Amino acid sequence: MSNPRKWPIWSLAVAAFLLVLAGCGSNSEITRSYVDPTASSRTGLSGVLIVGVAGKQESRIEFEDAFAKSLARYNVKTVPSHTLVENMDPKGDELIAAAKKAGLDMILITRYIGERAEEIYHPGTVYYGVMPAYGGAYNRGRYGGYYGHAYEVAYEQPVWSTNRTYTIISDLFLTNTEEHMWQAVSDTIKAGGEKKLLNDIIKSFVDDLKKQNLLD
């Protein structure tokens, strides 16, 4: 017979595991996506200048490097714009000239639109364990002799939390003609640190590029 004293630990472990599973969903959603209807007749991404519009140079560098690394996994030649244009607020002509000089046929520009906060109430939760007891009827093979005593294992206090959602837009242009090839808007809930937020945003855009057949 199992030792009932060990059951509360097991129950807490299961509860923790379920919480981990609940947090495995995507934190990003593409709310709008557009692709040039003639894009299917063109080749997908080959050489791309990655441009991140940010208020701080270090943020720009971190974003551009991460996005470039993510696309490079698909054998796309990528160059972060900060390696070619140090100016924090480069003009369109500067970006086009840099892309042409580096032999890049596309320019990918990503910028922040805004954010919103939503207050979420999480009611308290009680986790119960069950301690079996055995009576004479159980020994005679009857169900009536088996019953359980429920006891409280853990209690989570009700809390309020704030979901902060960031809206980011990304646009893809052809270098030579400046045609607008693709655009996507991502809403991303911050669920972790800044690095996770960054990765979630980039992943949502990469997934949409794949969905639109611009990325193999």
Query: What order do you get walking across the sheet with 28-35 strand by strand?
Result: 28-35, 180-189, 159-174, 106-122, 47-53, 77-80
4 lies in some domain = no
The count of domains in the chain is: 2
CA angle 180, 49, 69 (to 5 degrees): 120
Tokens 């902060």 -> residue: 164
18 lies in some domain = no
Which domain range does residue 72 map to? 28-116+165-211
Pull the structure tokens for residue 153. 């294992």
82 lies in some domain = yes
6 lies in some domain = no
Q: Which of 35, 50, 32 is nearest to 181 (CA)?
A: 35
135 lies in some domain = yes
Please tell me whether residues 149 and 81 are part of one structural domain: no
Q: What is the mean pLDDT of residues 118-125?
A: 70
Residue-wise pLDDT for 146-205, tens only, equals 445 556 677 777 776 677 899 999 999 999 999 999 999 999 988 778 889 999 999 999
Which 3 state secondary structure label does DSSP give 57?
Answer: helix
Question: What's the pTM value of the predicted model, to 2 decimals?
Answer: 0.69
10 lies in some domain = no
Please tell me whether residues 45 and 78 are part of one structural domain: yes
Please tell me whether residues 69 and 129 are part of one structural domain: no
Please tell me whether residues 186 and 207 are part of one structural domain: yes
